[in-house]
Amino acid sequence: MSAPTPAAPDPERTALAWAHTARFLTTAAQLDQLPPTELPEIAFVGRSNAGKSTAINMLTQQKRLAFASKTPGRTQHINLFELGPKDAPDALFADLPGYGYAAVARGAKLRWQQVMAQYLELRRSLSGVVLMVDSRLGLTELDQQLLAFVAPRVGTGEVKLLVLLTKADKLNRREADAALAAAQGVLGQLATDDADLSLALFSALSRRGVGDAAQVLHGWAHPAG
């Protein structure tokens, strides 16, 4: 009698377990302060009120990995997190400062716009960008400016892009469909034969899209073959 075939691993469970290994590595105020690395780096970006830190904490199943300030725009550094086994990490998450908060001084806004633009255009290890967008607002002018910074690398396939429409629990079905359609229209401008673009609704409150997003990121860090 032959032994039973072992069950195939659940992709979502595998991806979430991998994301749960995230741990703080370092923080930097300038691009040249980031350590050089050969590991694939996945950057999380978004407006200050888009729920970026909350989404990172939900994806990694850690309540305080990313600092979710009650004062939007307070975080002014790039924070790096390591993933995978501690003795053999296989990827990095980069949490970039939120942008667009009105109370932040103009000088700080301009400085961080420059730092983020340099990061998105020049960081050699950057392999993927997760753009968090409040689903009720859609892709604002500032979000589209950020997309413009990374568009050349997305178009060649060098950098992958996942847009998560956050706070989706606050939308009804019609509103959710409209939000997806509007975002798809904007992303269509970035589409090329080589571009790797993904779009999904996401809610940290209801956990909608959490498992799917984790699988996308795990796939980026562990490409087949």
Tell whether the model's pLDDT for residue 74 goes beyond 50.
no
Determine contact, residues 210/204, Cβ cutoff 8 Å: yes
- At residue 108, the pLDDT reads 63
The model's pTM is: 0.90
Percent of the chain with pLDDT over 70: 87
In this predicted model, which residue has the larger pLDDT, 103 or 50?
50
DSSP structural state of residue 195:
-
- At residue 113, the pLDDT reads 74
- At residue 71, the pLDDT reads 45
Tell whether the model's pLDDT for residue 164 goes beyond 90.
yes
Determine contact, residues 182/173, Cβ cutoff 8 Å: no
Considering 5-19, 56-70, 97-111, 142-156, the range whose residues carry the highest mean pLDDT is: 142-156
Query: Where do runs of H (alpha helix) occur along 127-190?
Result: 141-155, 173-187
In this predicted model, which residue has the larger pLDDT, 100 or 17?
17
